[in-house]
Amino acid sequence: MDTTRNILSISEALYHLTVMMLTLGQGVHSLPVPTDVPMCTASETAQYRLTFSGKWTQAAFPKQYPFYRPPAQWSNLIGVTHSSDYHMWQRNEFASNGVREFAEKGEAWTLMKEVEAAGERIQSVYGILSAPAVMGGTGQMNTEFEVFARHSYLSFMVHLVPSPDWFVGVENFDLCDGDHWKENVSLELFPFDAGTDSGFTFSSPNFETIPQDKITQITSSFPSHPANSFYYPRLKHLPPIAKVMLTKIKKTNQIISLPVEPTQSNQLPTGNEIEDKLINTPLDCEVSVWSPWGLCKSKCGDSGVQHRTRYIIMHPANNGLACPLLEEERKCFPDNCL
């Protein structure tokens, strides 16, 4: 109930802030565009449909896959259309307070205030877009937005639920190509660490990173800790955990449309959707370290046997390496034999 209420309140706030930003954008003059980036010379505005597809399946990501409290799912999407001189977030840079709160909790209030301040200060933000949460690791959410030559860039974030401070998104993607708009764009998305929480697993307790780290992409070998939920040392690359499709649509009289309802994940997939579901990431068995050797069991003067054991931390999946032996024995002679 609390999660649903938060999503609804955030969506309402995004709508009101969108209206305010668009009103603000119509009454100010744009600042000069930096000269070190390609100039967009498209004469007309363009409207796009954004379709976010979650690919967070147990087959693709079997290690510690979250089934409950809460199960794997996606937060609402929050994004902006903007000019090249604005950055919602950047890899290898420190996260703002707004990005921190969204990456850790999916809360967008501070992030929206930062966007509003940027729009007032440098007129770099044209509009805000949002889409409702996906209540599962797979499924879709959609929204529509508008861009024009001065503000041809798109940035957005979606928080992984549950996770310490992990998210997927797009940073400063230019939809303009010289004097025309790109028609169709498909981008594979991979997880990022906001650098603000030091948890290794999806359900790790809150453990603030001090000092704060920079935003980094999570890979199959980074962070290189075996407890990391995305640590798959046999893989060269992680499979994409989500993807986004950007499709140019016919322009309407609307400046920006409200988010549409997410597509339910139980619809029959087609084309590449079926191909994505066939990803099976092998997960090798993980076992603990050996226990100390046990007591030597024998009669005085005779050789005996002692044992040590270890236990399974992670069972194998998808044809991963089987578990090794969990018990060993060796010959011994009893100590302090009378």
CATH number at residue 293: 2.20.100.10
**Which residue, 11, 52, 12, 43, is CA-closest to 240?**
52
- The verdict on 245 and 313 lying in the same domain is no
95 with 166, same domain: the answer is yes
pLDDT score recorded for residue 338: 55
Residue 271 lies in a domain: no
Q: What is the pLDDT of residue 300?
A: 78
* Digit-coded pLDDT (tens) for 225-268: 888 999 998 899 999 999 999 999 976 554 444 444 444 433 33
Q: Which amino acid is at 283?
A: L
Residues with pLDDT less than 50, the chain:
1-5, 7-8, 15-16, 18-33, 254-275
pLDDT value at position 336?
A: 67
323: containing domain: 283-337
Give Cα 79 distance to the centre of its chain.
14
Examine the domain organization and report whether 119 and 227 are in the same domain: yes
Summarised one tens digit per residue, pLDDT across range 82-127 is: 999 999 999 999 999 999 999 999 999 999 999 988 877 767 888 8
What's the pLDDT score for residue 11? 52
Residue 173 covered by a domain = yes
pLDDT of amino acid 303: 83
Nearest CA among 217, 223, 228 for reference residue 193? 217
Q: Are residues 199 and 119 in the same domain?
A: yes
The total number of structural domains in the chain stands at: 2
> Within this chain, do residues 97 and 243 fall inside the same structural domain, yes or no?
yes
